[in-house]
């Protein structure tokens, strides 16, 4: 039977990056099935040199598909995860709909890919800020036990979708030369020349849901359900690439040199940490690239067992599409080995 | 004798803002003397409707001046602080040259303005990120004793000077439509569409001097010489307005409601903290305004005695020129009362 990979939400930013990565990584499949809402269907996208039509998702859409990569919002993911699994597909869902369900694995393959040995047919892909921080912290596990975590993010506008990038572009144009760009059509503050401490909706505890996602997901993926974590999530006028200032406190001192060595040896991480030569993580250098780039490692000044560092990750790649495709690759490897 | 206020560095961003604020606040003076390097001298600037020539700084330049507001870099401040004081002027210096000298007061008037009763003739004006965070924390003193402090900044490009703003503008133009703006002429990364975890030079401990300034200055101004403080300072593509995510840990719980009430009652602070109605601090809303705007107050999830909040401050005002003019005002008040 030919191996077909479906992408639901194929015309969105994450969906298009999923498609590009299946080709770029030579994912072992015989074809793709591109699915989108009826309003986005009808276009074509290129895969391995051929034009592939985007079809409207509907009954029977997942028939014959071995994997279904979901790059859609929660309600759409909830609507189609059942039919896709019933059709025999393994669903890898980039929405947050299933991330906090106990028996759904939430996976960063380099960190907890062992969960895929159980052959789950629904796997949740983590939040775009959670995946990179978890990767950076997992690399440090041999150096000490993580006791507390604080993350302040600098998140790019592409994390808010294609339309938000258009809003950024329009705002930059309106603010060109020093003018204040206007609020967006829905009343939200403009992205251009601004820092917005509001991503996703607010929870009752005063944190945004984006902030709580990082709390919940780092705990679940690292297997530390009681880890004290606190987060501030801020949108900045960057197109692609989520950055974060991270403070991690361990049960013993973790030296910056040891941390850099551990990161350099860990899959999916690149170290850029030579400030004297202007080498540190920068969104403009990371956009369009796979690794989580880590640098600015230094001893936390507050507590000697603390390590401070800064990372940047392409939010459309390790924060979304890349991790989803890596999960599919890890599923295939798990099936071979079992 | 007429009261004359000299501004050294009058053509720079901070100097021009000092001049605007002397007029805006009706500072009780009879005139200003505008001083700059010989290369910037020769222009005129407007004060109270009259054109005032910018004169080259040189011997005798401060004769007859009661105050000398310095908006220049360290070496220039060090060169002219002696002559200005010998000429009888009280020097209020925005550089970092004297901030860490034990017998030079480092002043935020609302916080430690009492130091001006001793009639010092050299007063240091704090760093653009230190002043607002100290103000926000001083307001909370009645609620608990500060035990630990963590600050992650989102600093605007105007903090790097006028030329940097031109670089931002050029970078935005070059990056228009999605291109990657080039590195700056000196090899540094572009400001546009980027987050740069490098402000000022690097110290041996892996922190930038900008980060250490916040450490040293919060301790000195708050009178807590052993306060554990840790900082990450990041440049973001915003024109005016430094933001920061702050986590402050106290000796007891400090509720967000109590914090908001304390801030609202404290001079120089405005509370914007109603997320449900999209009210939180934003650089675009704060640029050109005096108050430090505070919001996003919430209980720290890591430790129950912790309070997390976000602030934005116009770095050219409370972070520089406004605080300097307020110091001069407080000096006058102290002289009247003694």
Residues 263-302 of B with CB under 8 A from A: 275-276, 278, 280-285, 287, 295-302
CB of B3 within 8 Å of a chain A CB? The answer is: no
Reported confidence tier of residue B337, pLDDT bands at 50, 70, 90 = confident
Mean per-residue pLDDT over chain B, rounded: 97
Partner-chain residue, chosen from B197, B256, B278, that has the shortest CB–CB distance to A188 = B278
Q: In sequence order, which residues have a C-beta less than 8 Å from that of residue A308 and are 6 or more positions away?
A: A245, A246, A247, A248, A296, A297, A298, A299, A300, A301, B230, B232
CB of A247 within 8 Å of a chain B CB? The answer is: yes
CB of B85 within 8 Å of a chain A CB? The answer is: no
Contact present, B279 and B273 (Cβ < 8 Å): yes
Residue B215 pLDDT greater than 80, yes or no: yes
Distance from CA of A179 to the nearest CA of B (A): 10
Give the per-residue pLDDT at B94.
Answer: 98
CB pair distance less than 8 Å for B230 and A302: yes
Question: Which helix (H) or strand (E) is A134 found in, with range?
Answer: helix A130-138
DSSP B250: E
Q: In 3-state terms, what secondary structure has residue B129? A: coil
Q: How far apart are CA A153 and CA A159, in angstroms?
A: 12
Residues linked to residue A150 through DSSP beta bridges, in sequence order: A230, A247
CB pair distance less than 8 Å for A230 and B302: yes
- B121 and B28 within one domain: yes
- B103 and B231 within one domain: no
Contact present, A210 and A189 (Cβ < 8 Å): no
Interface test with B, best of A174, A194, A246, A303 (most B CBs within 10 A): A194
- A176 and A37 within one domain: no
- B329 and B297 within one domain: no
pLDDT per residue as tens digits for the range B187-198: 999 999 999 999
Partner-chain residue, chosen from A194, A206, A302, that has the shortest CB–CB distance to B150 = A302
- A90 and A110 within one domain: yes
Other Cβ atoms less than 10 A from the Cβ of A303: the count is 17
Give the per-residue pLDDT at B29.
Answer: 97
Residues of A in contact with B299 (CB under 8 A): 205-206
CB pair distance less than 8 Å for A172 and B176: yes
Distance from CA of A217 to the nearest CA of B (A): 15
- B327 and B309 within one domain: no
Helix ranges restricted to H, chain B: 13-24, 74-86, 109-112, 130-138, 162-174, 209-222, 256-265, 283-286, 322-337
Q: What is the dihedral of CA B325, B330, B335, B338, to 10 degrees?
A: -170
* Structural domain boundaries enclosing A86: 4-126+320-337
Give the per-residue pLDDT at A127.
Answer: 97
DSSP A102: T
What is the percent of chain B where pLDDT is above 90? 96
- A301 and A185 within one domain: yes
Give the per-residue pLDDT at B111.
Answer: 98
- A310 and A326 within one domain: no
Residue ranges of chain A with per-residue pLDDT less than 70 = 338
- B178 and B102 within one domain: no
User: Does the interface predicted TM-score (ipTM) exceed 0.85?
Assistant: yes
- A230 and A107 within one domain: no
Give the per-residue pLDDT at A177.
Answer: 85
Residues of A in contact with B171 (CB under 8 A): none
Give the per-residue pLDDT at A338.
Answer: 61
The strand pair at B242-250 and B229-232 is best described as unpaired
Q: How many domains does chain B have?
A: 2
Residue of B29, B242, B247, B331 marked catalytic: B242
CB pair distance less than 8 Å for A281 and B197: yes
What is the percent of chain B where pLDDT is above 70? 100
pLDDT per residue as tens digits for the range B126-162: 999 999 999 999 999 999 999 999 999 999 999 999 8
Residues of A with a catalytic annotation lie at 128, 242
**CATH number (domain holding residue A29):** 3.40.50.720
Tell me the pTM. 0.96
Q: How far apart are CA B116 and CA B125, in angstroms?
A: 13
Contact present, A94 and A106 (Cβ < 8 Å): no
Q: What are phi and psi of B166, to 5 degrees?
A: -65, -40
Tokens 């919001």 label which residue? B295
Q: How far apart are CA B101 and CA B107, in angstroms?
A: 13
Reported confidence tier of residue B338, pLDDT bands at 50, 70, 90 = low
- A118 and A142 within one domain: no
Contact present, B7 and B32 (Cβ < 8 Å): yes
CB pair distance less than 8 Å for B230 and A247: yes
**CATH number (domain holding residue A162):** 3.30.360.10
DSSP A32: E
Long-range contacts, stretch B264-267, CB < 8 angstroms, 24+ apart: B265/B139, B266/B110, B266/B135, B266/B138, B266/B139, B267/B110
B331 annotated active-site: no
Residues 152-191 of B with CB under 8 A from A: 152, 154, 169, 172-173, 176-178, 180-181, 187-190
- B141 and B109 within one domain: no
């Amino acid at each position: 039977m030919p191996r077909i990979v479906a992408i639901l939400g194929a015309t969105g930013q994450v969906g298009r990056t999923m498609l590009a990565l299946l080709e770029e990584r030579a994912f072992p499949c015989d074809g793709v099935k591109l699915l989108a809402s009826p309003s986005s269907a009808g276009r074509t996208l290129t895969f391995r040199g051929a034009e592939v039509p985007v079809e409207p998702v509907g009954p029977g859409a997942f028939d014959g598909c071995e994997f279904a990569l979901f790059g859609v919002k929660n309600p759409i993911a909830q609507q189609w995860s059942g039919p896709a699994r019933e059709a025999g597909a393994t669903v890898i869902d980039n929405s947050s709909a299933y991330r906090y369900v106990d028996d759904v694995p939430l996976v960063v393959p380099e960190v907890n890919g062992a969960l895929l040995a159980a052959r789950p047919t629904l796997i949740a892909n983590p939040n775009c800020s959670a995946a990179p921080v978890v990767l950076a912290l997992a690399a440090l596990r041999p150096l000490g036990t993580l006791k507390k975590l604080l993350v302040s993010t600098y998140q790019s506008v592409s994390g808010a979708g294609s339309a938000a990038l258009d809003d950024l572009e329009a705002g930059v144009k309106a603010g060109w030369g020093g003018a204040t760009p206007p609020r967006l059509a829905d009343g939200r503050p403009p992205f251009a020349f601004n820092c917005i401490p509001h991503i996703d909706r607010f929870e009752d505890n005063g944190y945004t849901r984006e902030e709580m996602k990082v709390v919940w997901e780092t705990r679940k993926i690292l297997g530390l359900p009681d880890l004290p974590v606190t987060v501030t999530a801020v949108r900045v006028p960057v197109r692609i690439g989520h950055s974060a200032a991270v403070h991690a406190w361990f049960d013993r001192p973790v030296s910056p040199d040891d941390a850099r060595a551990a990161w350099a040896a860990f899959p999916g991480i690149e170290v850029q940490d030579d400030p004297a030569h202007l080498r540190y993580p920068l969104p403009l250098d990371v956009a369009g690239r796979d690794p989580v780039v880590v640098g600015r490692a230094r001893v936390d000044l507050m507590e000697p067992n603390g390590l401070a560092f800064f990372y940047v990750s392409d939010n459309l790649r390790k924060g979304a599409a890349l991790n989803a495709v890596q999960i599919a690759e890890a599923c295939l490897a798990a099936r071979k080995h079992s």
